[in-house]
Amino acid sequence: MADSDHSRLSVALVDVNEGGEAEFLTLARTFASLILRKGYGRAETIRDEALPQRYYVVRHWATASAAEQCHSDTDVQAVTAKLYQIARITHVVNGARRADQLRLLMDDRRARAEADRRAGFDRRGKNQGRATGERRNGGDRRLGPRRLRDHPGEIDLIGAARRAREFADAAFSHFKVGAALEAADGTVVSGCNIENATYGLTICAERVAMFKALSEGHRAFTRIAIVADTAAPTPPCGACRQVLWEFGGNLEILLANLKEEKGKHQLKDLLPLPFDARLL
């Protein structure tokens, strides 16, 4: 199947926010009509009888190429972005993705690793002083393979930003920042700040994440987490707010430090009266 171009099957688990069922069903019908009309394939939505707010969206792609074209279609992305505003979506079967042997090898290694083993930059060099018997803060627990199975649809976006921060190149300011951007299809793309001896060429973590995501073909986004080692929340700078707005729209902004979440905002509140293509 990985090397063929025959029809493919994808399945997504959808947990709809309370009160959003009617809007979800309307968007699901719009999505199904759209991909059928454009020849990408067909989609059907199945309700979980045991969990009223859970649905399964099954997509029968005409070909692998049709699936790829669908994912890059701006009309489809617009509908998908709305879906991610009212539901948590977990892709449980992706039969349309072309095989990437390096990624498969990495995924296999991750699956074999214990969920809470720390390695590389993430390993503590010394005891941080947690008292005997004291439990780690539940919000800071890492979502390894086992926990992802136990909590379907849950994405630790702040955890991804914390890990990205460790790779920051902040030789001049020593102020490391990590960011994790969630695309509309559930993909998480991370970034860290990269400084330059010519200070004006320094680029922030948020823009690194956005530019990486765009270069990989993503065009619709739902939220971004930003992490710095500060007591107060560290919001995106003006340049980052402009870039995030232009390519991501009214994103949800999660601000956190190394221990806890510090705030949640909508980008429209951080960038009132934005300048964008509508003014050109």
pLDDT in tens, the chain (280 residues): 444 445 588 888 888 988 888 999 999 999 999 999 999 999 999 998 888 889 999 999 898 888 888 878 888 888 888 888 888 887 777 655 554 444 444 444 444 434 343 333 333 444 444 554 554 444 444 443 333 334 444 689 999 999 999 999 999 999 999 999 999 888 999 999 999 999 999 999 999 999 999 999 999 999 999 999 999 999 999 999 999 999 999 999 999 999 999 999 999 999 999 988 888 8
Is pTM beyond 0.75? Reply is no
155-280: CATH number = 3.40.140.10
CATH 3.40.140.10 in the chain, residues? Answer: 155-280
**The pLDDT value given to residue 7:** 57
Looking at the chain, the domain(s) classified CATH 3.30.70.100 span 8-94
Write out the two tokens for 249: 């729209």
| Catalytically annotated residues | 206
Query: Which tokens in the block code for residue 82?
Result: 């709305």
CB 61 within 8 A of CB 97: no
Three-class DSSP category at 108: helix
User: Topology of 8-94 in CATH?
Assistant: Alpha-Beta Plaits (3.30.70)
Token pair, residue 25, equals 């069903």
Q: Report the pLDDT value the prediction gives residue 18, as an integer from 0 to 100.
A: 87
Phi, psi of 188 (to 5 degrees): -110, 125
Six token digits for residue 167 = 């790779």
Q: Where are the alpha helices (DSSP H) in 198-266?
A: 205-215, 238-248
Q: Please tell me the distance from the alpha carbon of residue 194 to that of residue 172, in angstroms, as a whole number.
A: 10
Contact of 225 with 200, CB cutoff 8 Å: no
Strand partners, 58: 11, 44
Three-state secondary structure call for residue 156: coil
